[in-house]
A = this chain, B = another copy of it.
Amino acid sequence: MTQLQAILDPILDDLSIVDQRLKEFSQSSDLPTLGELLQHVFASKGKRARPALTLLASGFHEHDKSNVITMAAAVEMLHVATLIHDDTVDEADTRRGRVTISSGWGDRVAVLVGDYVFAASATYVCDTGDIQVIRRFSETIMELSRGELQEMSLSGNPVGNMTEYLQRIYFKTGSLFATSGESGARLSGADTAKVDALTSYSRKIGTAFQIVDDILDFESDEISLGKPVGSDLVNGVITLPTIFAMEDDSIRQHVEEYFAQGKPPNLLEDIVKGIEECGAVDRAQKYADNLAKEARDSLTLLPDNRYKESLEALSHFVVARVS
C-alpha cells in the first residue's frame, strides 16, 4: 500500500461514491454539447484532496453519510470549476494530461461551462440543507476569485511581502481546503470546538500545500513539472522562497532589476540559482513543515481513530518533498 492509499483507506468506499456522483453529474446534461464538455472535464480524476478532507473530517461522529458525500462531491466540483476558469485566465493548454476546455473549445465556452459547474456545485451544497455550510461555500467562491485577482493585480508590480503572500494563498488555496474540512465536520454533527479544530487543520494543510507547490516551481525540472523552472517569477508572482531570499540585499536588487528590465531570461537563471543557494528554498520548506505540525497540533482534542491517523499522515504527505 502506498502512503496515499493508506491515508485514503478509511474513506475508500465513500470516495468511490463521490466519484460515482461526479460521473452521474457529468452525464446529466440533456444538451449534447454541454454533456460532452462535462464528461471531458470529469473524465480524469484529480488528486481529490478536497473531498478526501471532507470525508476524513466527518469521521469523528456517527452521522447520516449522504450529506457528507454530497458535500464532498460539491467541493471537488467547485475545484474543477475553478480550474476551468483558471486555465482560461492562464491560457493553459493541458490539465491532468488532457486538453483544457479553453484551448480545445475556446475561451467563450470555457467561461460558460465554468459558470455551469460553479452553479451546479452550489446546488449540491443546497442539498445538505445546512445554511451555514451553504453560505460558507459561496464565500469560498468569492475568496477563490479574489485570490486570483490579487495575484493578477500584483503581477504588474510585484512586491515581496509576507502578509500579502499569506493572505493571497489563503484565498487561492487555504479557503477551499478549510471549507472542505469544516463542512465535513459540521455536517457530521461535530460540536463547535471540533469543527474549529478541523477547520484550522484544513486551512493550515491548504496553506502548506500551496507553499510546497510554490517551492516546486524552483526545484522541479521542466519535464516533471510541465512548466519552466521559475515560471511564477516569469508571471510576476512572488512566492515564499523569493520573499525569504529578498532579505538578502543583492538578491532583492536582482529581482527588482529583473522586473524593471522586462524579465530578461538570463537574469532569471541567476535569480533562481541565488534563491536556491542562499537557503531560501529550505527555509520555505521548514515554514511548510511547521504549518503541517501546527495542523497536527490542532487535532489534539479529537479522539484517536483511523480518521485521525489519516489526517496526521496527510499532514506529512502534503509537505513531503517531491524532488
Contacts and interface: CB of A to CB of B under 8 A. Distances in A.
Contacts of A29: 146
A115 B112 contact: no
A160 B149 CA distance: 41
A140 to B, nearest CB: 8
B126 A131 contact: yes
Interface stretch (A103-111, A247-255, A286-294): A103-111
Contact of A31 (B111, B131, B150): B150
Contact of A112 (B116, B135, B148): B148
A85 B115 contact: yes
Contacts of A150: 31, 33-34
A122 B146 CA distance: 15
A123 B139 contact: yes
A141 interface: yes
A130 to B, nearest CB: 9
Interface string A32-45: 11100000000000
Nearest to A141: B119
Contacts of A113: 145, 149
A279 interface: no
Contacts of A31: 146, 149-150, 153
Interface in A13-51: 29, 31-34
Contact of A123 (B118, B138, B152): B138
A129 interface: yes
Contacts of A112: 85, 89, 145, 148-149, 152
Interface of A: 29, 31-34, 85, 88-89, 107-109, 111-116, 118-120, 122-123, 126-127, 129, 131, 134-135, 138-142, 144-146, 148-150, 152-153
12 contacts: A31-B146, A85-B111, A88-B107, A112-B148, A113-B145, A116-B146, A123-B135, A123-B138, A126-B131, A126-B134, A131-B131, A131-B134
Given A33-B153, A88-B107, 7 more contacts: A31-B149, A32-B153, A34-B146, A89-B108, A89-B112, A112-B152, A123-B138
